[in-house]
Amino acid sequence: MMKRLRLVIIEDEKAHFQLMRRAVCKEFPGAVIDHFPEACSCLEAIERLKPDLIICDYLLPGLNGLEFLDNLRRKSNFAPVVMITGQGDENTAVKALKSGASDYVVKTGEFFRLLPGVIKKVLRERGLEDSLEISYRFVEAANRSMEISGLVKDFILIAKRFTGCSFVEIRLVEEGAPLDCRGCQFHRAPRSVASDPGPKNQTYFYTSSANGQEPSFPPFSTQTGSLYTNSMSPVFAKSLHAMSNGGCTLNEYESLALVPVRLGDSILGMVYIADEKKEMLSPLAVEVLERAAMELGTAVKRLRAVAELKRAREQLEDRVRERTAELALANEKLRKEVEERGRAQQALAKSTEDLKLFAYSVMHDLKSPTVAVYGLTRLFHKQYGDKVDEKGRKYCEQIMRASEYCADLIGQINGYIAAKHAPLRRQPALLGDLLKTVREEFSERLAKRSIRFVEPEADVEILVDRLAMTRLISNLVDNALKYGGDKLSEIRIAHEQSEGFCTILVGNDGAAMKRNDCEAIFRAFQRAKNSSGIPGAGLGLNIVREIAQRHGGHVEVEPGESKGVLFRVTIADPPRQSGFEKHCESARSSVNGEPTIAGA
């Protein structure tokens, strides 16, 4: 249903007015037309009449058409004006358009036939302008609002001003929930309510309060699912009751529109618009409200997402605070444990240092009397051996062997403590220099048994603690001499280089070793089963492993098939500076004011 058109015609010639009125009523039946013979009285009544369109003649008594436009422009929300001008007076028409007229009509023979078309054109343009403006206001409100309550309040205010209706209400539900109103129930968006209503769970339907029956879709339902009418009483027997519990009660209204708030296929709520007067809602107004309801749905979704995000952030902050408090307690507990462990480590380090000093002291204190016993027994045996019987001489020999063993044991224990606790002083050293020292140490024993000591042809520089590495090789050579047996004829030394590591190989062709003993021989005070009668305390190979591990490496043993044993000692060999790099670092140290030592 269309809202009745209301026109104001300002024309001083009564005959012309009658002809214009006839032309307008023929095209717009039921139009309300107010006539004024001059402009001043129209200006006084214009606020009360609120016409949809004003038709004004240019030549009027008192104020002419242009002066009327100037006065009308000072009023807010003035209606569009169509100016009537004389034939050949196009300049006046141009002035009228510049002064705010929406269009003009020249009084010619076709004037009365053309007038209804001009009115339709101006009303259509004005409707489009109004709809664009109100749509912009709805969009602006949707983008400006930060809370749903404020958003709904702004939409209600704009809708009231736009439609002029006395009642506007918006009810929202959660996405996917049914919107139940005694007059209608929305579940999902309709596909096409005019041609394809679809099942109830996909469209909306309304039920008459009077008979409780479900009628077919009325002629005032739109293609997008809205319901509107400008004359309610013929449709329903008496009233349409909406939500009773704090909701809107649409009772005995004539103009009514129910516009769903959409987001895609989901219904988020309903916009209820009503007024006691008839013909308050035009199809264009309903179309504008439908677009606004879509903007409202998008804004509601956005604000709900913002609110959900805010709740999630608050929950996260609460969890973070709780977790932070738990971590603080855990950190405090850990700090106390670390402090206790630190104190325990300090006590252990002090105890270890005390034990090491005690061991050194004991070894030192034992060494002197052991050497004295050995020396005195040997002297006694030399000077008085012929004066004692055979049993006495055997006692002297046993005392010398025992004291010699004690002295050797004391030396090995000292070596073990030094290998485990003495600080490493790694520096570049030629393997050949270390082997030279070892060869000189065992030269007498090697020559006595005619054992070849084979060194590698190519020398290699390694980064080691010279004293510790010399002891490592010496222990391996000594082990070969002790356990190689009578068939031992060669001790061979070799080396292999790999990225970041250097491997020293010490092998012999003496007696074979059982594979079951390959791990046990490296334990402290652990000796092979065939070591009976061989001097030693079982610390030599353990010292080898300790030195290798302190150099960032390890030691392995590979027994031969029928004879011989091969020890592989792998140590970390980090890259060293070249001569040019040393020179550059020395220069930087000099620039920084640090003292340099030649040859360092």
Distances (CA, A) of 354 to 367, 409, 550: 20, 21, 22
Name the residue among 415, 308, 310 with its Cα closest to residue 363. 415
Contacts 24+ apart (CB under 8 A), 308-311: none
The pLDDT of residue 428 is 92
Q: Say how far residue 214 (Cα) sits from the centre of its chain.
A: 53
Asked if pLDDT for residue 466 goes beyond 50, the answer is yes
Q: What's the average model confidence in pLDDT over 267-293?
A: 85
Name the residue among 102, 64, 107 with its Cα closest to residue 89. 107
Asked if pLDDT for residue 338 goes beyond 90, the answer is yes
Q: What's the average model confidence in pLDDT over 154-172?
A: 87
Query: How many whole angstroms separate alpha carbon 285 and alpha carbon 134?
Result: 10
Which SS3 state, helix, strand or coil, does residue 377 take?
A: helix
Lowest-pLDDT choice from 180-194, 222-236, 464-478, 524-538: 180-194
Query: How many whole angstroms separate alpha carbon 4 and alpha carbon 127?
Result: 14
Q: Give, for 448, the enclosing helix (H) or strand (E).
A: helix 431-449
Query: How many whole angstroms separate alpha carbon 209 and alpha carbon 207?
Result: 6
Who contacts 89 (Cβ-Cβ below 8 Å, separation ≥6)? 58, 106
Confidence band for 233, pLDDT divided at 50, 70 and 90: low
Confidence band for 306, pLDDT divided at 50, 70 and 90: confident
* Beta bridge pairs of residue 54: 8, 81
Q: What's the average model confidence in pLDDT over 52-72?
A: 89
Task: Give the domains, in start order, of the chain with CATH numbers.
Answer: 6-132 (3.40.50.2300), 143-306 (3.30.450.40), 423-579 (3.30.565.10)
Name the pTM for this structure.
0.42
Asked if pLDDT for residue 427 goes beyond 70, the answer is yes
Confidence band for 127, pLDDT divided at 50, 70 and 90: confident
Query: How many whole angstroms separate alpha carbon 362 and alpha carbon 357?
Result: 8
Which range in 381-385, 538-542, 555-559 is most confidently predicted, on average pLDDT?
555-559
The pLDDT of residue 456 is 92
Q: Which two tokens stand for residue 95?
A: 């002035």
The pLDDT of residue 520 is 79
The pLDDT of residue 321 is 93
The pLDDT of residue 247 is 41
Answer whether 37's CB lies under 8 Å from 83's CB.
no
The pLDDT of residue 101 is 87
The pLDDT of residue 55 is 92
Residue owning tokens 């109830």: 200
The pLDDT of residue 333 is 93
Query: How many whole angstroms separate alpha carbon 202 and alpha carbon 335?
Result: 64
Who contacts 16 (Cβ-Cβ below 8 Å, separation ≥6)? 57
Asked if pLDDT for residue 352 goes beyond 90, the answer is no
Angle between helices 540-550 and 466-483 (to 10 degrees): 150
Lowest-pLDDT choice from 90-94, 156-160, 526-530: 526-530
Higher pLDDT, 250 or 56: 56
Query: How many whole angstroms separate alpha carbon 486 and alpha carbon 447?
Result: 14
Q: What is the pLDDT of residues 410-424, one digit of tens each?
A: 776 776 676 666 777
Q: What is the pLDDT of residues 472-500, one digit of tens each?
A: 999 899 888 988 888 899 999 999 988 88
Query: How many whole angstroms separate alpha carbon 224 and alpha carbon 228?
Result: 12
Class of residue 586 by CB neighbours under 10 A (exposed 0-12, middle 13-18, buried 19+): middle
Query: How many whole angstroms separate alpha carbon 312 and alpha carbon 302?
Result: 15
The pLDDT of residue 577 is 55
Q: Which two tokens stand for residue 30?
A: 């039921």
Render 67-95 in DSSP notation, one character per residue. HHHHHHHTSTTPPPEEEEE-TT-HHHHHH
Q: What is the pLDDT of residues 12-43, one digit of tens each?
A: 999 989 999 999 999 888 889 999 999 999 99
